[in-house]
Structure 1
Amino acid sequence: MLLLLIKIVVTLVTVLALAWLAERVSTRVAGVLAGFPLGTGVALFFLGFEQGPDYAADAARGTLLGFIGAQALALAFAASASPQRLKTLALSLLAFLAVALPLSLLDLSLWLALPVSVASTIVAHRLMRHLADTAITLRQPPGWGVHILRGIVSGLIVVGVTSAAYWGSTTLSGVLAAFPITFFPLLAIVFWQHGPAPAQTLVKHYPAGMGSLITHTVAVALLYPHLGIIAGTLCALALATVWSAGWLAWQRRMS
């Protein structure tokens, strides 16, 4: 029970912080940072904590494949975003499941799963780069009721996903751990409250943030068996931070 509460609290804080960034700073920055490995990192950490570092390292291979499903979710949202909010979000979830679950049947090595994951990220980035960048215009700051609703939505998603990640094979656990635990609640919040255009800005820049997720996941696969979950997680997060900071700095220079 304590572990579950920690997962929920970490995810809730992350989602609310990213939503604040999207509303007050930039939807582009929030989209990139939504790819930072907090949700997936939490899932892999607790897989290692509860079932051993070798299990989590092996599951990371499936996580790389699961990122293809996360890209499918973003692409489905970009293609179907409309005022019919529930329909759009449901189609996005179905896209993840339709792509990710069959991939969980594959047993690829880390060095085969990695180029496939990178290639899917590049393709998704190119397919969505035509979307416009739309900022959020706040008429008034969200009240406590909105924050409570955000917390409930995020909590329900993280409980469902992190619980499901322990079913079935190691690969299936890894694939489900790749579900965008922080990004999808953020996307739902922005879409529901501010409309399709700012939400599409989030998905447009999400593949750029996937670089940090991929970096973190490869580091987990390589470092957990040798360093353990604590030191391995710290090193993996440090590498992911370098990626995110470098990408945002490059984007500022190019803009």
Structure 2
Amino acid sequence: MITLASICLFAFLFRHIDDTRVDTKVALTFRVSLLRALAAASIVLLITGIAKTVGTGWAGVLSSFPITLFPFLIIIHLSYGAASVHSVIKHYPYGLGALMIYTLSVSFVYPVLGLWLGTLLSFLFATVYLLLLLMLQLAGDCFRKLG
């Protein structure tokens, strides 16, 4: 319930952040791809390495670190600026809703359906959530344009 309340609270608090369009995209050359991959891998290795040195008590805390989001935000910031990062952060709570649905579903369906079918069904539930969210956002955009 705390997670759900936090998702709702921050989605509400972030609603005033403007969405930013990227007009000029960074050319995705081999060098840019290599630098991005090295930066992301370094951050992941650093955080997982720290988890090994701090012991099991803190390793659990570090396991919840947004390990894929952090490098992504750095890359977006360096490539497109702070406003684009704000747009990503604005929508992050909605993605956490899908993660919450997936995790909750896993806890119920794994014991009944097993790993493979349980994973597939849990992923399907999270995907349906995201599709319903998209439909709600598109409907809201239509109503705003009409009124």
TM-score by length of 1: 0.48
The answer to whether structure 1 residue 141 and structure 2 residue 27 are counterparts is yes
C-alpha contact (below 8 Å) 2:102/2:123 kept by paired residues: yes
Q: 2: CA distance between counterparts of 1:249 and 1:186? A: 26
The answer to whether structure 1 residue 231 and structure 2 residue 120 are counterparts is no
| Structure-to-structure mapping, 1:157-176, within 5 angstroms | 157-161=43-47, 164=51, 168=56, 173=60, 175-176=61-62
Q: Give identity over the alignment, percent.
A: 34
Q: Match of 1:253?
A: 139
C-alpha contact (below 8 Å) 2:26/2:79 kept by paired residues: no
Q: Deviations over 1:153-196 (max 9, x none)?
A: 2222334455638x526x963x5443223222221111111111
SS in 2 for 1:129: helix
Q: Match of 1:221?
A: 107
Q: Match of 2:86?
A: 200
Structure 1 gap segments, 5+ residues each: 1-114
Q: 1: CA distance between counterparts of 2:45 and 2:124? A: 26
Higher-RCO chain (CA-CA 8 Å, sequence separation at least 6): 1
* One-letter identity of the residue aligned with 2:56: G
TM-score by length of 2: 0.80
Instruction: Assess, with a 3 A threshold, how the Cα gap between structure 1 residues 121 and 133 changes in structure 2: closer, same or farther.
Output: same
* CA-based RMSD: 2.4
Structure 2 gap segments, 5+ residues each: 142-147
Segment of structure 1 superposing worse, 235-244 or 131-140? 131-140
Q: 2: CA distance between counterparts of 1:177 and 1:221? A: 18
Query: How many angstroms does 1:253 deviate by?
Result: 1.6
Q: 2: CA distance between counterparts of 1:239 and 1:162? A: 29
Larger Rg: 2
Q: Deviations over 1:196-228 (max 9, x none)?
A: 111100001111111101101111222233333
Instruction: Assess, with a 3 A threshold, how the Cα gap between structure 1 residues 178 and 221 changes in structure 2: closer, same or farther.
Output: farther
C-alpha contact (below 8 Å) 2:39/2:71 kept by paired residues: yes
* One-letter identity of the residue aligned with 1:157: I
